[in-house]
Amino acid sequence: MALPPSSCFQTPLDFCPDCGSVLPPPGPPSTVRCPRCHFTLQVSDFEGKTVRSTIEFNPLHPHGGGGRGPDPAPHSHGPSVERRCPRCGHEGMTFHTRQMRSADEGQSVFYSCPRCRFQEKEDS
């Protein structure tokens, strides 16, 4: 590959030889232009090179999102603690924590009763 004399370093054609940014795939125009520094390469420089791209999505987890709305049974997840349910008197509730307020304040603890599904929040 012959680089123009203005390039700073030699790189594969996937990267801009001037600034090192990822180059867009070659398309119909006769040049490929770096989106960062606007360095241009001729599409003919890519002749014989195979360009491949892959899109990889994160797996959907049954608990914790995926765009399916709220968790249908938050009471059945998480560690348990010795805490009496104020509604049904069951001893033992599950809990999880979240940082709901500013970083210099404590976390919020969400308790759920596995028997009656009562939920309560405690700010610490």
C-alpha dihedral sign at 90, 95, 100, 106: positive
pLDDT score of 77: 65
Q: What is the mean pLDDT of the chain?
A: 76
CA distance linking residue 112 with residue 72, whole number of Å: 13
- pLDDT tens digits for 62-71? 655 444 444 4
List the Cα angle 60/107/97 in 5-degree steps: 35
> How big, in percent rounded to 5, are the helix, strand and coil portions of the chain?
5, 25, 70
pLDDT score of 76: 56
For residue 85, count CB atoms less than 10 angstroms from its CB and return exposed for 0-12, middle for 13-18, buried for 19 or more: buried
Rounded to two decimals, the pTM is 0.39
Asked if residue 109 has pLDDT above 70, the reply is: yes
Token output for 123 = 């700010």
Domains and CATH numbers, the chain: 1-50 (no CATH), 74-123 (2.20.25.10)
For residue 42, list its beta bridge partners: 31
Q: What is the DSSP string of 70-99?
A: S-S-GGGSS-EEEEE-TTT--EEEEEEEE-
CA distances (Å), 55 to each of 43, 58, 66, in order? 24, 10, 17
- pLDDT tens digits for 30-87? 888 888 888 888 888 777 777 676 778 878 766 554 444 444 444 456 788 999 999 9
